[in-house]
Amino acid sequence: MATTQADRIGSLDTVRGVAVLGILLMNIVAFAMPDAAYINPKAYGGHQGIDLAVYLVNFVLFDGKMRGLFSFLFGASMLLVIDRAAAKDESPARVHFARMAWLFAFGIAHLLLLWWGDILNQYAVIGAIAYTCRNAGVRALVTRGLVLVGVAWLVYAIMPLGILAMQAGIHDPDPAKAAENAQSLRAFIDSMGVPSPAHIQQELALHRGSWSGLVAHRWGELTHSLSATLFVGAETLGYMLLGMAALRSGMLTGAWPRARYCRWMLVGFGIGIPGYALLAAWLVSRDFELLAVATATMAFATPLRVPMILGWACLILLLARPGGGLGERIAAAGRMAFTNYLTTSIVMTTIFYGYGLGWYGTLSRAALYPIVLAMWGAMLLWSPAWLSRFRYGPFEWLWRSLARLELQPMRKTAALPG
């Protein structure tokens, strides 16, 4: 995201393009419905028939995998920028930390002004930490990445254990402790279970209301939103380190033999898809009750995400064909991933929030996906059209100019500095 056109690695752009498109498959629910609907179909938006089928397909194939793939690619791109800064006798630390500082600023602005689900501020903080591993070899990066995913699994496993403790605690003989446990359990139900009608109405009123009301609410929740970095930080850092290892090993540059990509794709999907399918079946058999949702989507799903991310990366690289029309459009969307990510938030919040069309909470889960397809089409059309005239996407250009404290040439006919 910070290299010139001549320096691009096409395979990296293609995988990033699929990730930025795929992440909307899950984010669309967070844009359009009360929070709990993202993780539990019984919360809102329909949990039978085609709505249930859409949830299950997303759970098995996409949920967490596209976010993980995005983190994977962020780590690889970050390392590429660091390596190229060193090759040009620039200060890798100055280049890297300037980029992360401005990314954090973009993320906070995105979170407060547009959408609560921002990941940019988290990537900036964790990317700063990942810098300490820039000189590690492939084996060390893989080992550290897997250990961090293991740490995340332990953190997530605490959640269902905590729910069990709270369920037992509501019967505590001490009325104060019982009330405290009941209040904590209610918060979990509102975020992962079936929220109360009052909670649903509160979310609907908020998101169908004014822009200023939403900004004020997000400002009040800012500390809580930023604390999410602590909760998911180990997992995200693990994926970034694995992405750095994938770049170092030649995987993401397309240097592996096709047989190796095929083998690792089969290994990744062979572990991940059956594992997720079993979790999906278990969720249905338990009727998506709170403890099952917390256990399946957080604790049990975590170790399966790594093989699924690996499978997706290998599949995309196998299918990528230089010179193909669709492949070039996807790669262009990947080159403009930062712009496309922020533009998606602008478009989706305008569609669903009260200061726009006000569709928040009005569509079923399945009915959201024609909107996803339309947004995909827009990204695939406008990204190559923009890049045919300009060196960078508009937000990539702004980020690069701010990080370097110098306006960068935008048009392809403009001369590069130096």
35-58 pLDDT per residue, tens? 999 999 999 999 999 999 999 999
Domain of residue 380 covers 5-404
- Does position 305 have pLDDT exceeding 90, yes or no? yes
250-295 pLDDT per residue, tens? 999 989 999 999 999 999 999 999 999 999 999 999 999 999 999 9
Please give the pLDDT value at position 415.
Answer: 53
Percent of the chain topping pLDDT 90: 87
Question: What are the two backbone dihedrals, phi and then psi, of residue 390, each rounded to the nearest 5 degrees?
Answer: -125, 155
Amino acid, single-letter form, for residue 278: L
Please give the pLDDT value at position 1.
Answer: 38
Please, which pLDDT band fits residue 326 given cuts at 50, 70 and 90?
A: confident
Measured CA to CA, the distance from residue 18 to residue 66 in angstroms comes to 8
* Structure tokens that stand for 188 in this block: 């979990």
pTM: 0.93
346-402 pLDDT per residue, tens? 999 999 999 999 999 999 999 999 999 999 999 999 999 999 999 999 999 999 999
Mean pLDDT of the chain, nearest integer: 93
107 located within any domain:
yes
Please give the pLDDT value at position 412.
Answer: 84
414 located within any domain:
no
Measured CA to CA, the distance from residue 273 to residue 282 in angstroms comes to 14
235-249, 290-304, 327-341, 404-418: which has the minimum mean pLDDT? Answer: 404-418
70-92 pLDDT per residue, tens? 999 999 999 999 999 999 999 99
- Between 10-32 and 302-319, two packed helices, what is the crossing angle to 10 degrees? 130
288 located within any domain:
yes
Please give the pLDDT value at position 226.
Answer: 92
Mean pLDDT for 197-215 is 97
409 located within any domain:
no
Burial zone of 308 (CB within 10 Å; 0-12 exposed, 13-18 middle, 19+ buried): buried
351 located within any domain:
yes
Domains: count for the chain: 1
Please give the pLDDT value at position 249.
Answer: 96
CA distances from 326 to 314, 321, 380 (A): 18, 9, 8
410 located within any domain:
no
286 located within any domain:
yes
Contact (Cβ atoms closer than 8 angstroms) between residue 218 and residue 209: no
Please, which pLDDT band fits residue 132 given cuts at 50, 70 and 90?
A: very high
Contact (Cβ atoms closer than 8 angstroms) between residue 181 and residue 172: yes
Measured CA to CA, the distance from residue 269 to residue 306 in angstroms comes to 10
Please give the pLDDT value at position 9.
Answer: 78
14 located within any domain:
yes
